Amino acid sequence: MKPFEYERAGDIGEALELLRAHGPGARILAGGQSLLPMLNLGLYEPDILIDIGSIPRLSDIEVSGDALVIGAMTRQRSVELDDTVRSRQPLLADAIGHVGNTRVRNIGTVGGSIVHNDPAAELPLVMVVLDANYELTDGVSRRKVKAEDFGVGSFETSIREGEVLTAVEVPTLASDWRWGFREFSYRPGDFAVAAAAVIARFEGNELAEVQVGITGVGGGPVRCASFEEAATGRSVDQLGEIESLVTTEVDYVMEGLESSEYRAHIAGVMTTRAIVDAFERSREDNRS
């Protein structure tokens, strides 16, 4: 690891000023749970780390109309336990509990995970399925980017030089929709072989509407448009017939310890199980 400078920014303006001064050699330090391992492996060699951990208001969770606005520096554990998040967007609270372990979530931040864009990460997946928006600023202007357009490949995003992610805008779950999240990994806290996130609305045993995303199989999270179209109008017990469609929008299926065929199969199974979980929640709510 080569030597680097360290600066703690007191506010967002100071952080942006440091980014402009140091250019491509600067890296933002949020929780560090993704960044520090990359430094240890020599995959990142920054000239300076700019710590934004103490900037006020970057760790707030607020309700704005039909959305939750979550500050980029909000600790993952805070989101997991927040009553407002659990009631208004339970998929997010459920999925974030699969990130690493409690120690990691106590330190790791929402924005850090999103900007790191690990191809097997849970948070970018959930944001894509929920049609979330990311708020970014370079100090002169602000812009919003759809979660689906933010990731451009493994560990790559469309964030521009000199920009900082400040908040995530997550639509709340409508009262007649239910959710499911399933992940397959070899040990709790390991990176997922494949994971699926789902929100769905049911009419009887049939899917009236569904939004599905998978991760772990390619370069990042993917919305499964072909599967969504084929699943709409089907009964839950017919979903096994179309499991293979979940990887239709994936450019390539990764291979590692697992073959691409096995990983794709697991993605389909996780998707079906997540939808069944959503259906069971719907049935339980209708009985109560």
Q: What is the pLDDT of residues 104-115, one digit of tens each?
A: 999 999 999 999
Statement to judge: residues 215 and 264 lie in one domain: yes
> By C-alpha distance, which of 133, 209, 205, 206 is closest to 176?
209
| Residue 261 forms part of a structural domain | yes
Mean pLDDT of 18-47: 82
pLDDT digits (tens, 9 = 90+) for 114-156: 999 998 899 999 999 999 999 999 999 999 999 999 998 888 9
pLDDT in the model for residue 55: 86
Give the rounded percent of residues in the chain with a pLDDT score beyond 90: 72
In this model, does residue 196 exceed pLDDT 80? yes
Q: What is the mean pLDDT of the chain?
A: 92
In this model, does residue 1 exceed pLDDT 70? no
Statement to judge: residues 136 and 113 lie in one domain: yes
Q: For the beta carbon of residue 285, count every other beta carbon within 10 angstroms.
A: 11
| Residue 56 forms part of a structural domain | no
CATH number at residue 21: 3.30.43.10
| Residue 126 forms part of a structural domain | yes
Statement to judge: residues 164 and 239 lie in one domain: no
Q: How confident is the model at residue 3 (pLDDT cuts 50, 70, 90)?
A: confident
Phi first, then psi: what are they for 168, rounded to 5°? -125, 130
103 or 56, greater pLDDT: 103
Angstrom distance (rounded) from CA 79 to CA 71: 10
pLDDT in the model for residue 35: 78
With contact defined as beta carbons under 8 Å apart, do 199 and 177 qualify?
yes
In this model, does residue 168 exceed pLDDT 90? yes
| Residue 253 forms part of a structural domain | yes
Mean pLDDT of 11-20: 92
Angstrom distance (rounded) from CA 205 to CA 110: 35
Statement to judge: residues 31 and 68 lie in one domain: no
In this model, does residue 34 exceed pLDDT 80? no
Q: For the beta carbon of residue 93, count every other beta carbon within 10 angstroms.
A: 21
pLDDT in the model for residue 268: 96
pLDDT digits (tens, 9 = 90+) for 57-99: 899 999 999 999 999 999 999 999 999 999 999 999 999 999 9
139: Cβ contacts below 8 Å, ≥ 6 apart:
12, 13, 16, 17, 20, 162
> By C-alpha distance, which of 244, 246, 245, 239 is closest to 221?
246
Statement to judge: residues 189 and 236 lie in one domain: yes
Q: How confident is the model at residue 4 (pLDDT cuts 50, 70, 90)?
A: confident
Last residue of a domain, one of 109, 144, 171: 171
pLDDT digits (tens, 9 = 90+) for 210-261: 999 999 998 899 999 999 999 999 999 999 999 999 999 998 888 878 899 9
- Classify 30 as helix, strand or coil: coil
CATH number at residue 221: 3.30.390.50
Statement to judge: residues 251 and 192 lie in one domain: yes
State how many domains the chain has: 3
CA atoms 131, 134, 135, 139: torsion sign: negative
Statement to judge: residues 220 and 267 lie in one domain: yes
3 or 90, greater pLDDT: 90
pLDDT in the model for residue 266: 96
In this model, does residue 39 exceed pLDDT 90? no
Statement to judge: residues 166 and 183 lie in one domain: no
Statement to judge: residues 163 and 93 lie in one domain: yes
Statement to judge: residues 191 and 164 lie in one domain: no
123: Cβ contacts below 8 Å, ≥ 6 apart:
76, 95, 96, 99, 110, 113, 114
Task: Retrieve residue 17's tokens.
Answer: 């000023």
Q: For the beta carbon of residue 266, count every other beta carbon within 10 angstroms.
A: 22
Q: For the beta carbon of residue 261, count every other beta carbon within 10 angstroms.
A: 10
* Sheet-wide strand order for 133-137: 61-64, 67-71, 164-171, 133-137, 142-146
pLDDT in the model for residue 231: 97
**37-51, 123-137, 138-152, 264-278: lowest mean pLDDT where?**
37-51
Give the rounded percent of residues in the chain with a pLDDT score beyond 70: 98
DSSP 8-class letter at 229: H
Angstrom distance (rounded) from CA 94 to CA 100: 13
Statement to judge: residues 45 and 107 lie in one domain: no
Domain span holding position 220: 179-287
| Residue 118 forms part of a structural domain | yes
> By C-alpha distance, which of 222, 226, 206, 202 is closest to 214?
222
pLDDT in the model for residue 288: 59
CATH number at residue 73: 3.30.465.10
pLDDT in the model for residue 46: 82
Statement to judge: residues 150 and 244 lie in one domain: no
pLDDT in the model for residue 169: 98
| Residue 81 forms part of a structural domain | yes
